[in-house]
Amino acid sequence: MSHPTGGQAVSIARFTLKTEFAAKGAEFEALFPTYVAAAKAAEGTLRTGLASSTTSSGRYLQLTWWRDSEARQAMMSDPALFRNVGIKYFTMARHDKVNGDSIAGGLPDVPYAVVALTELPATEENPVLQALHGLDGFLADQLVQPDEEDGRYLLTWWRDEDAFRAALATAPAALDGAESFAFLADEVSG
C-alpha cells in the first residue's frame, strides 16, 4: 500500500453539523462514499479519509491527498462533485477547509485509528516532535503548509484514542490545542 509523503497536496476539511442536523450524523457520514467515488475517479487522487471527533458530537475531519496541487484543483473544480456531494455537505454542516502541501512526514504504513490535528503558528519552523516520537502508540506525523494562510497544521497518527490521551499527558506542549478524530473510513485510490 502506498502512502503520501512530503510534497503531495493535502486538503484538511473540518465540518460541524448545523443545529437542525445535529442528530443526523449517520446521514452526513453516508455522504462520504459518494465523495470517495468521485475522488477515486479523479486523476491524481492518492487517498481520502473521514473521521469523527472523539470529544465533540457532530464534528468531522475529512482529509484528502493528491499527487500535486493541479490534481487537487481539477477535482475540486468539478461541478458534478459539487452537485453530488458539496451541496449536501454544506446544507448539513458548517465547514472550514485548508489546502496546502505536505512539507514533512507522511501517513503511517501500519493500521491506525486516530488522527490529531494541531494548528501551529507560522513562526514555529520545527515543531517539537521529538517528544512524541517513541511514545507508545505514536505512528507518524505530517506537517502541512497552507496555500493561503499563515501557520502550519500538524497531523499525528495514533494507534488508538488511549495512546493519544497518554501522549497529551506525557508531552502536552507538543500537542497543545490538538483535536483528535477517530477514523470512520479510509480509502486508498488507485
Fold of 9-188: Alpha-Beta Plaits (3.30.70)
Domain ranges of the chain: 9-188
101-143 tens-digit pLDDT: 888 887 777 778 899 998 887 655 555 667 888 899 999 888 8
Average pLDDT, whole number, for the chain?
85
**DSSP class per residue in 108-164:** -SS---EEEEEEE-TT-SS---TTTTTSTTEEEEEEEEESSSSSEEEEEEESSHHHH
pLDDT band at 7 (very low <50, low <70, confident <90, very high): low
Express each pLDDT in 9-27 by its tens digit. Answer: 999 999 999 999 999 999 9
Q: Nearest Cα to 144, choosing from 72, 53, 39?
A: 72
Phi, psi angles (nearest 5°) of residue 110: -125, 160
A 10 A CB-CB count for 88 gives 16
Query: Largest alpha-carbon pair distance within the chain?
Result: 46
User: Cα angle at 47 between 23 and 113, to 5 degrees?
Assistant: 55
Name the band, by pLDDT with cuts 50, 70 and 90, for residue 179: very high
The predicted model gives 169-175 an average pLDDT of 86
pLDDT band at 150 (very low <50, low <70, confident <90, very high): confident
pLDDT at 173 over 50: yes
* Beta bridge mates, 97: 13
